[in-house]
Structure 1
Amino acid sequence: MARAPAVPAVPEEPSLALPRSFWKTFAREHWDKGPVLFPGLFPAHFPTPHEIFEALVDVGDRYRHGEVTLPLRFYVEGPAKEGEAPEVFNLFSLGRYLPTAQDGTLDVYVERLERQLEGRRFGIVLSNTQSHHWNHWLQMRSFLTGFHEALGVPLGGADSALFLGNYQHTPFGLHKDDLHVFYFVIHGRRRMAYWPLELLASRPEVARHAGPDLKDRPCGVLLRDAEDTRQVMAQASFLEGGAGDFMYWPSSYWHRSEPTQGLTIAASLGVNFRAPMFLDMAPAHEWPGRLRHTELPRGGKWKVPAPVRTALGRRGQRNSLRAAERELTEGWVRFLSNGALDGPPPEARELPPLTEADWVRASPERPIITVPLTEGQVVVAANGRTSNLRVPNGVRGRIERLVKELNSGKPQQVGALEERFFHRLAPRAFKRAAFQALLQDLARWRAVQRCEPGKKR
């Protein structure tokens, strides 16, 4: 008899969680007060250049397969006139400039790119980096756990943006965001210039568009000439960090990257407390600005947080409104099961179908959750993805028990889970194919992973 292939050991997951003492000090001394550099706090698991390369390969593959609306910007500096800063152009046809798996390493890719660009400086800016690499999603989510406990869960979400290149200054210029920013230097060195809000708020190009809410709005500064640049830079403060360091600055600070030698890779994790992005299409309504960290999904029977349920319940009882309420509830479930990150991790690709003989295990730290909706629907969610099932009441209880078994973190055999689920269940109540599809969804979402067999019951 042929021996079954060995199941690879589940590798240690990368974590950027910092101790509670750090976050208590941060909340008291630094939050919303000014830029600060934190050198070398992570002895392990910091994002690596190779992980960034793999994320960009994922972006390149998706782009070449037709996903041309990816949140990606590619900048190239044009030839500079004497005494003037070079123009910066945004490239729109990117297929030949993005990496492929055949490049092999980031160094090889950058060498190829520099040949293609004939030595011109370049910058790549990618939003939702956490949606292109599993480790990066784990790193950013684990970093936020302490932030959530100290300062609450910002319902504007959190997004990791990648900055890679040898550009001299931030390609889109001196600006401020509507985000509080944590900035991780992954490779090379990064020097940042900062200005508090009031120093540049009276400039004509700012005052023309700014109002009393400028602190919470994105805005840019247009440097007119060399003398204007000299005067503005004379008012700046600076921080410089190397690989393994991270910076923080509030949304009230203008900033711009300054020249350093060679290639730099950094990831900015931005957070804000406005309403979630998925509510943009919802009717104008008051939504909670933040939640307590204990209101994020945990083990046991999790419910959509009370402030969210209250806001949803005020929307009326007509059928059309109930349908919208179900859709919005599912949006909240996706968002909160994702740790309040803006985008889910990439799905596991080329995943062979689970068999009855396979063993799987979930992570209790990232529980699978079930939320009942109206009209016999139940949402099963994990890691920012959902499956909406229409089931009889008796089957809903079985789904909840299945999820409870998985959330224990113990190895579970697929065939045994299926046998217990269908024990004494009427044949037409729920199809075995639907059960198998649900488990396959959970595996594809990385909510369960194949593992070594556990002890027989």
Structure 2
Amino acid sequence: MTGTELHQNHKVSVEQRFDWAEFVARYWDRRPVLYKSVRPAPFQEDEVFQAALRATRAPDPHLIPSHTQFAVGRLQQTSPGQWLPRAADATFRGYAKRLTTSADEVREDGYALIVHAFHGFHAAQWERERAFLAGLWEQVGLPTTGAITTLFHGTYEHTPVGVHKDRFATFLFALQGRKRMRFWTHRPWTHAATTVLDYEPYLAASFTAEVEPGDLLYWPASHYHVGESVGRSMATSVNVGVPRENHRAVYDLDDLLVEHDARSLMDPDAGLARLSAAAAPLSVPDPASVGLPPVFEQALVEFGTYTEASRMRDRAVVQSLRTWTAGGLRPAPPPEQPHPLSDEVVVRATAPVLWGESEGARVCAVNGHAVTTALDAECVRRMLRLLDGPGVAVRDLLAALPEDSVTTGTDETLPASRPGARRLLEILESFRGVARL
């Protein structure tokens, strides 16, 4: 095929050449399109499996992680049991083989593994995905609340949630097997339901597109959709969703006030763990005591700190720098453990390090993470300028700094001294923004 062809009922265009500017001009927020054999691919099968392993490690042996779903047929499982990937599986094929040979219900009804917040579990995969999406952000702007990434794997008949619509424009990257996406331009049913599992009565109004490994399929947020397996073979894909509809101010407020990880993104109650436990009786006296219950008093005091103008300005600076350096993919993979940097080590920046001013300090950010230093602006500029070169010894980066400084650090701010600057470099390295040569 050359140029543009139409796929299945003349609803999905098929393109052989992928270009962000052309895509935005012709398809963005308009209609689905299928791109064949996209290169370079933003996802690699081995990295995706390793990310799935990390994402599905259950901190509680009795509960599947909040950002993970596993279903056999239509039955959602709540206990990890044998269902989640294991290192011994080695690949998705090994994982599928283990499940299908050990569980009769999987052979009969199929299975579905879905992992949300998927970009936060493998640094190299995250960097590749960010680089790929950078071309889209150049055309349409960076989404303030970020994109979402979801893994879909299994032999399921159709997506466990059924036909649905969400607020995201979606890019589906096919990794293994064949998969069919079924679309409706409008809601095909009239009753009050957000999803439908038994959608056979509505097939006539639908249209489909089939993907195979290496393909990229896009559809706008306006479309109702459901994923289907082709036959009973295993299929693996990664979806990236970009928010386009039904934006609420609470999303921006949540992004400003809460530093999310994968767990808290999918479990609203996880944020409560940031507050210390407030002891409270199971019953109250009659008549009720005067004043707020302790737990409400604690919450009021905590939220009262957000009315401090300087604190909110500082928070806005930090979150803005994290958002820009994450390239639309937050939460970013967690930092690595910092390691000492001796004077003779040669280092350089491996990703753009952005910085900004906060109340009496400077904030440096890279790869979605931020650190605060008491170094003055000129020192920060000098360090970053040297790091942007071919390589510089740590001693040369620190040469202009005193061994000690009158400006001491705090629990959140590194001191303006040689040891403080060295620690800054070590932390930037743990963010994967500085590398040793």
Structure 1 residues 385 and 277: alpha-carbon distance in aligned structure 2, compared to 1, 3 A threshold: farther
TM-score (normalised: structure 2): 0.74
Of 20, 30, 35, the residue aligned with 1:33 is: 30
DSSP-derived class of the 1:234 partner: helix
The equivalent of 1:387 in structure 2 is 371
1:299-346 C-alpha deviation (Å, 9 max, x unpaired): xxxxxxxxxxxxxxxxxxx97132123223322221121112232134
1:339-358 C-alpha deviation (Å, 9 max, x unpaired): 12232134346x65333332
User: After superposition, where does 1:36-435 map in structure 2 within 5 Å?
Assistant: 36-42=33-39, 44-61=40-57, 63=59, 70-77=66-73, 88-94=74-80, 96-120=82-106, 121-197=110-186, 199-200=187-188, 203-206=190-193, 219-221=194-196, 223=198, 229-261=199-231, 262-273=233-244, 274=247, 277=251, 279-280=253-254, 320-348=308-336, 352-363=339-350, 366-374=351-359, 376-389=360-373, 391=374, 395-406=376-387, 408-422=388-402, 430-435=416-421
- State whether residues 183 and 269 of structure 1, in contact with CA within 8 Å, keep that contact through their aligned partners in structure 2: yes
Q: CA deviation at 1:129?
A: 1.5
- State whether residues 334 and 385 of structure 1, in contact with CA within 8 Å, keep that contact through their aligned partners in structure 2: yes
- How many Å separate the matches in 2 of 1:417 and 1:118? 62
- State whether residues 129 and 136 of structure 1, in contact with CA within 8 Å, keep that contact through their aligned partners in structure 2: no
1:173-192 C-alpha deviation (Å, 9 max, x unpaired): 11011000011001111111
Unaligned stretches of 5+ in structure 1? 1-19, 78-87, 207-218, 224-228, 284-317, 452-457
Q: CA deviation at 1:114?
A: 3.0
Structure 1 residues 326 and 24: alpha-carbon distance in aligned structure 2, compared to 1, 3 A threshold: same
Aligned residues: 360
- How many Å separate the matches in 2 of 1:385 and 1:65? 30
TM-score (normalised: structure 1): 0.71
- How many Å separate the matches in 2 of 1:371 and 1:258? 47
Identity of aligned residues (%): 27
Instruction: Give the root-mean-square deviation of aligned CA atoms.
Output: 2.9
Amino acid at match of 2:416: F
Structure 1 residues 258 and 101: alpha-carbon distance in aligned structure 2, compared to 1, 3 A threshold: closer
DSSP-derived class of the 1:416 partner: helix
Amino acid at match of 2:367: N
Unaligned stretches of 5+ in structure 2? 1-16, 258-305, 409-414
- How many Å separate the matches in 2 of 1:403 and 1:21? 35
Structure 1 residues 127 and 244: alpha-carbon distance in aligned structure 2, compared to 1, 3 A threshold: same
Amino acid at match of 2:152: F
Of residues 92-101 and 133-142 in structure 1, the stretch that sits farther from structure 2 once superposed is 92-101
Amino acid at match of 1:141: R
DSSP-derived class of the 2:104 partner: coil
Amino acid at match of 1:73: Q
The equivalent of 1:449 in structure 2 is 435
- State whether residues 133 and 346 of structure 1, in contact with CA within 8 Å, keep that contact through their aligned partners in structure 2: no
- How many Å separate the matches in 2 of 1:34 and 1:423? 61
**Are positions 1:23 and 2:20 aligned together?**
yes
Amino acid at match of 2:176: H
- How many Å separate the matches in 1 of 2:214 and 2:432? 27
Structure 1 residues 423 and 280: alpha-carbon distance in aligned structure 2, compared to 1, 3 A threshold: closer
Higher relative contact order (Cα pairs below 8 Å, separated by 6+ residues):
1
DSSP-derived class of the 2:205 partner: coil
DSSP-derived class of the 1:205 partner: coil
The equivalent of 1:439 in structure 2 is 425
Amino acid at match of 1:234: A
